Amino acid sequence: LDPFFARQLPREAPFTPNEEQARAIDALCERLEKQRAGGFLLHGVTGSGKTEVYLQVVARALASGLGVVVLVPEIALTPQLVGRFRARFGEGIAVLHSGLGDRERHDAWRGLRKGELHLAIGARSALFAPVKNLGLIIVDEEHDPSFKQEDGFRYHGRDMALLRAHRAGAQCILGSATPSLEATQLVRDGKLERLVLSRRALEQSMPEVE
């Protein structure tokens, strides 16, 4: 049994977003509804509720009949994130990770290719999943160096995500508390729009930094 589906999770209703989250969700959904290629840098401090923004935008994409890919740095280190997606969207998710056997991987890819599954979550190789009617790609922790494939066919998952979204006419969201220099430069060049979550979602105080 896939460890990501080993236990049942109660369904979770969407949380009421704070003002900054609501602005980000509205901006992302507005662009999504226009179905034009574009990119955003979601720059949110740790604990600012980036995942809730992802979840609500993914819900809008799925409701519109669009396919979604969510990339995370190391799938084995993010069971909590996968759990949040399962609690919100149920079991109809393809979680692609290195622990899958050939049969399990084939079943996931076939489900995506036939349009039975519309949401794929995984590390950088999930970018190539055959998601039908792709409308949204999310790269969580886009600054993480593990998005670089350094042997065999070399590529950077973040950069390839932007390219695939552009070619598919989809939206790409890069999320980070510490954006990479590359993403920051894309914002300065006007190629990405920056959305900021400057405070923690539950109003906890930020730590003092010297």
Element (H, E) at 194: strand 193-197
- Report CA 130 to chain centroid distance, whole Å: 16
- Going from the C-alpha of 95 to that of each of 5, 13, 158, the distances in angstroms are 9, 21, 19
Tell me how crowded residue 145 is: count the other CB atoms within 10 A of its CB.
Answer: 9
Q: pLDDT per residue over 24-42, tens digit each?
A: 999 999 998 887 778 999 9
Average model confidence (pLDDT) for the chain? 88
Neighbours of 176 (CB within 10 A): 20
* Residue 96 token pair: 């692609």
Of 72-81, 87-96, 121-130, 137-146, the one with minimum mean pLDDT is: 72-81
Instruction: Evaluate whether 119 touches 100 at the Cβ level (below 8 Å).
Output: no
pLDDT digits (tens, 9 = 90+) for 171-188: 999 999 999 999 999 999
Q: What angle do CA 88, 117, 74 make, to 5 degrees?
A: 65
Contact in structure between 127 and 73 (CB atoms under 8 Å):
no
Among 9-13, 71-75, 186-190, name the most confident range.
186-190
Are 141 and 124 within 8 A, CB to CB?
Answer: no
> Comparing 210 with 50, which gets the higher pLDDT?
50
Contact between 179 and 43 under an 8 Å Cβ cutoff? The reply is: yes
Report d(CA 117, CA 131) in Å as an integer: 8
Give the tokens for residue 40. 């955003």
Shortest CA distance to 125 belongs to which of 152, 89, 86, 91?
152
Phi-psi region of 28 (alpha: psi -120 to 50; beta: other; left: phi over 0): alpha
pLDDT of residue 35: 75
* pTM of the predicted structure, to 2 decimals: 0.89
Cα 123 to Cα 147: distance, rounded to the nearest angstrom = 8
